[in-house]
Amino acid sequence: MRKFSLQTKILGLTFSLSFILIILLTTYYTYMEGKQIVEDRGRLALELSKTISVMPSIINAFDSEQPSKIIQPITEQIRKRTGAEFIVVGNKEGIRYSHPEPDKIGKRMVGGDNERAIQKGQSYISEARGSLGLSMRGKSPILNKNGEIIGVVSVGYLVKDIEKQIFNDISKELFISLLALLISIIGSYLLARSIRKEMLGLEPYEIAHLYKEKNAVLHSVQEGILSIDQNGKITSMNQRAKKLLGVKGSVRNLMIDEFFPSSQLYSVLKSGESKIDIELSWKQKIMIVSCTPILDKEIVRGVVASFREKTEIEQMMNTLSEMKTYSEELRAQTHEFTNKLYVLSGLMQLGEYDKAIEMIQDETSELQFQNQIVFEQINDTKIQVILLGKIGVASEKKIAFEIDPQSYLDKLPEHILLSQLTLILGNIIDNAFDAVANVKNPTIKFFATDIGEDIIFEVSDNGKGISDENVSSIFQMGFTSKEGESPRGYGLSNTDKAVKELGGIIEVQNGIENTVFTVYLPKDLLGGETDEN
């Protein structure tokens, strides 16, 4: 089915309505105008006939020997001044004493409509066909001084002249109607063009499609999105935003101040400049907010804000960090085993079979021992993945990574996420790698147990240790004792934050020969919320 443009619809509708309305009004006005003209001419003819019938000069002329010589000049003068088509004065028998055509004087009046005036003495309006044609006539009796009827006055206007006047008036009205119709078409075109411009050249069905599409997009994204107008009233808010802000029901046309920290939005309304990744606090939640102005010809008409909880962003970043860590650890394992394969290949080529067999046996026994602990005593896949990766890194760096044979773990509670474990154990073990980098016989020991109410992880190293003055500062954001240009001081801070999120604690023992980090995580997360707020 063909879809007509908005401009065509407006033009068609306006033209049709204007045309019908103008035709109806013109027809009605023409009818009333014609009726009024006919009534006016009839009334004028009647009043004129009454006036002439009481003129003394006309009445007295009936007593003279030749009344027409007196009456004809008088009636012709009146006829010419009043514009009547004819003024005929006749006697009681209907013999003319005056007529616009003098040769018809003395002849009987034509039309047969004198009876009421001559016989009954009435004044009236009639329509009849006379010697000049069909006419509208005013008839009045002429009475003498004794009140006797002595004649009749007939004043008339030809119907064709009346119709001609009506046609002339109608022509003017039709011209005005056509002009009004033309103006309405031009106005409709300008209105349609203005509306189309306001709607950015889009048709209504396109706007409806965009509206549905916008709603689908708004409610499908994982970010909270809301918009306000220039007065600070909410114009839209998606479901994700309502969930993050704890809002239920419609909030359209309500002030933003009740539902969201509005200072940054008002700032963007005032300045017209976007603000990206602003950290805001709202009802014990940390939001990362980006605000963009809605511009109309460089005038700020509103603001759109998109936001997410900071914890969600951190989780995403942690996941990316995990993937990078796993990639690096797998690379380290591959590199290490590749080197060992090269060594074995060299021994085989040199005929050192005994040494090759000894090397294989050493590697096998070491792997069997490590794998026995990892796969038989550590029953949580998340911890297994982390330990296998760190064993590979330690092997590449020539660091002894020992898992305590007394270690034992069942499957961890579901609220302890892989991302949190990666932050906690990954950062502590990586710090241990750095601590033993320049010592002789570098060794790192790992112990884990879930006996009791807590899950305990312990990582110790024989590195250079931590100075007493730095022990209290190592978990502060940005603190580091390492040198280098790259940003540092975030690992242990993030570790401490992850431990606290799980309701646990972390302890540091700075001994003479080793440094020990111990993490206590409760099996039940009490008094807090999970990450799925």
How high is the pLDDT of residue 312? 60
Tokens 């002329």 locate to 61
CA distance 322 to 92: 129
Q: Kindly state the tokens that stand for 427.
A: 């950062």
Are residues 156 and 85 in contact, defined by beta-carbon separation less than 8 angstroms?
Answer: yes
Q: Which residues contact 525 (CB under 8 A, 6 or more apart)?
A: 413, 415, 502, 503
- For 15-24, 57-66, 404-413, which range has the lowest pLDDT when averaged over its residues? 15-24
pLDDT confidence band for 456 (50 / 70 / 90): very high
What Å distances lie between residue 64 and 12, 52, 61, 521, CA to CA?
A: 74, 18, 5, 144
For residue 61, is it within any domain?
Answer: yes
pLDDT confidence band for 519 (50 / 70 / 90): very high
DSSP 375: I
| β-strand partners of 294 | 302
For residue 258, is it within any domain?
Answer: yes
Q: Both 400 and 469 in a single domain?
A: yes
CA distance 268 to 294: 10
How high is the pLDDT of residue 230? 86
Condensed to tens digits (0 to 9), the pLDDT of residues 227-272 reads 899 888 988 888 888 888 888 888 888 888 878 888 888 888 888 8
- For 28-42, 295-309, 427-441, which range has the lowest pLDDT when averaged over its residues? 28-42
For residue 56, is it within any domain?
Answer: yes
Question: Distance from first CA to last CA of the chain, Å, rounded?
Answer: 50
For residue 327, is it within any domain?
Answer: no
Q: Both 302 and 442 in a single domain?
A: no
DSSP 147: S
Comparing 189 with 522, the larger pLDDT belongs to 522
Q: Kindly state the tokens that stand for 146.
A: 């004794």
pLDDT confidence band for 489 (50 / 70 / 90): very low
CA distance 174 to 171: 5
User: Which one of 258, 280, 309 terminates a domain?
Assistant: 309
User: pLDDT > 90: what percent of the chain?
Assistant: 8
Residue 451, SS3 per DSSP: coil
How high is the pLDDT of residue 324? 65
Q: φ, ψ for residue 75 (rounded to 5)?
A: -65, -35
Find the domain containing 77 and state its range.
6-165
Q: φ, ψ for residue 106 (rounded to 5)?
A: 90, -10
For the cut 80, the answer to whether the pLDDT of residue 5 exceeds it is: no
User: Which one of 276, 309, 342 terminates a domain?
Assistant: 309
Q: Both 85 and 228 in a single domain?
A: no
Comparing 478 with 319, the larger pLDDT belongs to 319
Helix, strand, coil share (%) of the chain residues, nearest 5? 50, 20, 30
| β-strand partners of 155 | 87, 138
Give the pTM.
Answer: 0.41
For residue 205, is it within any domain?
Answer: no
Mean pLDDT confidence for 516-533: 68
H or E stretch at 466: none
Are residues 83 and 95 in contact, defined by beta-carbon separation less than 8 angstroms?
Answer: no
Q: φ, ψ for residue 93 (rounded to 5)?
A: -85, 0
What CATH number is given to the structural domain containing 459?
Answer: 3.30.565.10
How high is the pLDDT of residue 530? 39
User: pLDDT > 70: what percent of the chain?
Assistant: 84
Give the residue among 288, 375, 386, 276 at the shortest CA–CA distance from 329.
Answer: 386
445 CA to centre of own chain: 61
For residue 388, is it within any domain?
Answer: yes
How high is the pLDDT of residue 482? 57
For residue 193, is it within any domain?
Answer: no
How high is the pLDDT of residue 363? 63
CA distance 317 to 303: 28
510 CA to centre of own chain: 62
Q: Both 280 and 369 in a single domain?
A: no
User: Which one of 245, 280, 309 terminates a domain?
Assistant: 309
What CATH number is given to the structural domain containing 20?
Answer: 3.30.450.20
Condensed to tens digits (0 to 9), the pLDDT of residues 394-412 reads 877 888 888 998 999 999 9
Chain length of the chain:
533
What's the one-letter identity of residue 294?
A: I
Where does 159-298 show beta strands of DSSP type E? Answer: 224-229, 234-237, 275-282, 285-296
CA distance 345 to 360: 12
How high is the pLDDT of residue 529? 41
What's the one-letter identity of residue 164?
A: K
CA distance 289 to 280: 7
Are residues 238 and 219 in contact, defined by beta-carbon separation less than 8 angstroms?
Answer: yes
Q: Both 12 and 84 in a single domain?
A: yes
Condensed to tens digits (0 to 9), the pLDDT of residues 166-183 reads 777 777 777 887 888 888
Q: Both 154 and 30 in a single domain?
A: yes
Q: Can you list the pairs that 32-40 forms with residues at least 24 positions away whose Cβ atoms lie under 8 Å?
A: 33/166, 33/169, 33/170, 33/173, 34/166, 34/170, 37/162, 37/165, 37/166, 37/169, 38/136, 38/162
Q: Both 250 and 356 in a single domain?
A: no
Alpha-carbon Rg for the chain, nearest whole angstrom, is 56
Q: Both 229 and 156 in a single domain?
A: no
Are residues 136 and 162 in contact, defined by beta-carbon separation less than 8 angstroms?
Answer: yes
pLDDT confidence band for 479 (50 / 70 / 90): low
H or E stretch at 489: none
Q: Both 359 and 455 in a single domain?
A: yes
Structurally, the chain folds into a number of domains equal to 3
What's the one-letter identity of residue 501?
A: E
Q: In whole numbers, what is the pLDDT of the chain averaged over residues?
A: 80
Are residues 515 and 478 in contact, defined by beta-carbon separation less than 8 angstroms?
Answer: no
Mean pLDDT confidence for 498-510: 88
Pairing of strands 400-403, 443-449: parallel
- For 62-71, 193-202, 230-239, which range has the lowest pLDDT when averaged over its residues? 193-202
CB-count burial class (<10 Å; 0-12, 13-18, 19+) for 512? exposed
Give the residue among 60, 82, 86, 83 at the shortest CA–CA distance from 71.
Answer: 60
For residue 338, is it within any domain?
Answer: no
Give the residue among 368, 404, 403 at the shortest CA–CA distance from 386.
Answer: 403
Condensed to tens digits (0 to 9), the pLDDT of residues 351-366 reads 887 777 777 766 655 5
71 CA to centre of own chain: 87
Q: Both 305 and 356 in a single domain?
A: no
Are residues 458 and 518 in contact, defined by beta-carbon separation less than 8 angstroms?
Answer: yes
Q: Both 233 and 382 in a single domain?
A: no
pLDDT confidence band for 93 (50 / 70 / 90): confident
Q: Both 483 and 402 in a single domain?
A: yes
